[in-house]
Amino acid sequence: MSIPAATPQGEVEQHDASRPEPLPGDAGLQAGPVEPVEPATSTKPAESQAEPAEPLATAITERDRHFMRLALEAAEEARAAGEVPVGAVLVRGDEVVATGFNHPIGAHDPSAHAEMAALRAAGAALRNYRLPGCELYVTLEPCLMCAGAIMHARIARVVYGARDPKTGACGSVVDAFSNGQLNHHTGVAGGVLETECGEALRAFFAERRRASREARREARRAAGLEPGVADNSR
Ligand SMILES: [Zn+2]
């Protein structure tokens, strides 16, 4: 039995192509009463011909916010490594199976998004390339690459924080999961801790722009093209 050859990845923009500006006021993040949602516990031994299952309900609960906070902690690991701060947590029931953070720069790997890292780690941990019954929490709306991997893994539900108007594949740019020909497995919920998730990204890009301006100013100063600080003062 031959393993299908890996298809070359198409153009996948990095998360840092520009600062994502999550759009306020979208549906998804409701501060209303917490409704219990059944955790994804139905883990069957994976079969490549797994029967289509109804995507899990997408109501947002306190449980979702709990796991999104863990994803934010993973995002902080990315930020500390100088990478765009996106983090992901892969959950089965109430068990965290794996976490991942965005690290394409350090890994020299365009596919090293947080979701991919979490999927790979979870597959290794569970010794299974299918992850039915699992949920993936990620601080930024998945891109098309990650949406594809999430579907291949048969993830039951994906929950994201900030929307990504540049590369989001859960409705912001394209809506991969709504295509019934592609997706029979994965439910989607967006906007969980949207403000916190978006703020982590905004702060990162603001700091990077500030550092970049400072570096340019320093270079001009060194070249004698710009007066020093002392000359600017009154
Ligand atoms: Zn991605």
Q: Is 47 marked active-site?
A: no
Report CA(14)–ligand 1 centroid distance (Å).
Answer: 8
- CA atoms of 1 and 17, how far apart (whole Å): 40
**pLDDT computed for residue 227 by the predictor:** 60
**pLDDT computed for residue 67 by the predictor:** 98
- CA atoms of 141 and 172, how far apart (whole Å): 8
Instruction: Tell me: pLDDT of 37 over 50.
Output: no
Report CA(86)–ligand 1 centroid distance (Å).
Answer: 10
Count of residues making up the chain:
234
**pLDDT computed for residue 14 by the predictor:** 40
Instruction: Tell me: pLDDT of 45 over 70.
Output: no
Report CA(109)–ligand 1 centroid distance (Å).
Answer: 12
Report CA(216)–ligand 1 centroid distance (Å).
Answer: 31
Neighbouring CB atoms inside 10 A of 120's CB total 18
Partners of 115 in the beta sheet? none
Select from 172, 120, 121, 174 the least CA-distant residue to 149. Answer: 120
Q: pLDDT (tens digit, 9 = 90+) per residue, 49-100?
A: 444 555 555 689 999 999 999 999 999 999 999 999 999 999 999 999 999 9
Upper half-sphere CA count for residue 156 (Cβ side, 13 Å): 22
Mean pLDDT, all residues of the chain: 81
**pLDDT computed for residue 226 by the predictor:** 64
**pLDDT computed for residue 22 by the predictor:** 41
Instruction: Tell me: pLDDT of 8 over 90.
Output: no
Active-site residue (options: 13, 73, 115, 226): 115
Q: State the pairing for strand pair 157-162/87-92.
A: unpaired
Q: pLDDT (tens digit, 9 = 90+) per residue, 101-144?
A: 999 999 999 999 999 999 999 999 999 999 999 999 999 999 99
**pLDDT computed for residue 55 by the predictor:** 59
Report CA(15)–ligand 1 centroid distance (Å).
Answer: 7
The tokens of 136 are what?
Answer: 């993936």
